[in-house]
Amino acid sequence: MLKNDLLIRAAKGLEVERAPVWLMRQAGRILPEYKATRARAKNFIDFVKTPELACEVSIQPVDILGVDAAIIFSDILVIPEAMGLPYQMIEAKGPWFENTIKSKADVDKLKIADAGDLDYVIKALQLTKKELNNRVPLIGFAGAPWTLFAYMIEGSGSKTFSKAKQFLYTQPETAHLLLEKITQSTINYLKGQVAAGADILQLFDSWAGVLSPDMYYEFSLNYISKICDALSPLVPVTVFAKDAHYATEKISQTSCSSIGLDWTINPQSARSQAGNKTLQGNADPCLLYASEEKIIRETNQMLKAFGKNKYICNLGHGLYPDLDKEKVKFFVDLVKNYKWNS
């Protein structure tokens, strides 16, 4: 039994005493403790593949920042790798794939991954679940198929993802084949995460915003919906589609439990489109560069607008590495101490 199950209750739309708070990229470079642990690994991928180290940095934000959940330390790119497309994480640049997908023959060569291909993440989850000792829930995650597809075609990050979009326009059938393979791999992987102790799951669709609404529904949301249908009978699932608030209503029609929001939509507008789903978000991470007075004002306004129930407090995207750890903690404390009835 979880001692603090606020996140799970909020995700399920049940009554809470206060809104839970956790932060995307909380296991990361804002913490000197993270940097110290990372220095013990050869490189990022080695770090991700060492369950003891992954466990350590997953728990650090719970101890240091006081957040209401741990998210397993890993990366969304472990799925392309498990399917046969290895990546590197280049310092100060980001992910890089030596081989990319160009044709149907390339797609045919990829395997559908199962949880056994990602046993290092499964072990990290088991260890983290044990070490957390039920203090707070453990969040599992995966990239949404479209976002993984975008990296697999492009081979790295991109402002426009025009190569990946070109693929959708010129080889739509092959695109669907690849998206289906990623979807099946992700379902296998997430079922393994739940069996290993994940209490809730989040799908990150970081590049949702480069697609038009119709392209998004066809090439992204269809697959997200399949993943939600496979996993939501087991645990709550949150869908975070960055820069795609045009899709909030359609996302609310999937079987997800909650919808993650970036800062480009206001709470009232999101509520009016989200049906009875729980909402998660959505402060601009840059707010945490501001003065304490400004942080107090904006955070109070956000909490009031979302309301206590069916709400999970978070930022609208991940923490930036140069944010001050004390300001981040200040934000977390503010949310935890907010007087909901006043």
Catalytic site residues? 25, 29, 38, 75, 151
Structural tokens at position 120? 């290092």
Q: Which of 71, 179, 187, 287 binds ligand CP3 (CB under 6 A)?
A: 71
Give the nearer residue to ligand CP3 in terms of CB position, either 9 or 242. Answer: 242
Name the residue with the smallest CB distance to ligand CP3. Answer: 206
Question: Does 29 sit near ligand CP3 (CB under 6 A)?
Answer: yes
- Pairing mode, if any, of strands 87-90 and 94-97? antiparallel
Question: Does 86 sit near ligand CP3 (CB under 6 A)?
Answer: no
User: In a 10 Å sphere around its CB, with 0-12 CB exposed, 13-18 middle and 19+ buried, how is residue 231 labelled?
Assistant: buried
Q: In angstroms, what is the minimal distance from the CB of 205 to ligand CP3?
A: 8
Residues numbered 155-174 forming contacts with ligand CP3, rule: CB under 6 A: 157
Question: Does 141 sit near ligand CP3 (CB under 6 A)?
Answer: yes
Give the nearer residue to ligand CP3 in terms of CB position, either 20 or 95. Answer: 95
With contacts defined by CB under 6 A, how many residues of the chain interact with ligand CP3?
22
Give the nearer residue to ligand CP3 in terms of CB position, either 38 or 49. Answer: 38
Question: Does 7 sit near ligand CP3 (CB under 6 A)?
Answer: no
Give the nearer residue to ligand CP3 in terms of CB position, either 171 or 202. Answer: 202
Q: Which of these segments, 70-78, 105-113, 222-230, 267-275, binds ligand CP3 (CB under 6 A)?
A: 70-78
Q: In angstroms, what is the minimal distance from the CB of 171 to ligand CP3?
A: 23
Select from 137, 280, 141, 143 the least CA-distant residue to 206: 143
Give the nearer residue to ligand CP3 in terms of CB position, either 171 or 235. Answer: 235
Per CB under 6 A, residues contacting ligand CP3 are: 24-29, 38, 44, 71, 73, 75-77, 89, 94-95, 141, 157, 204, 206, 242, 318
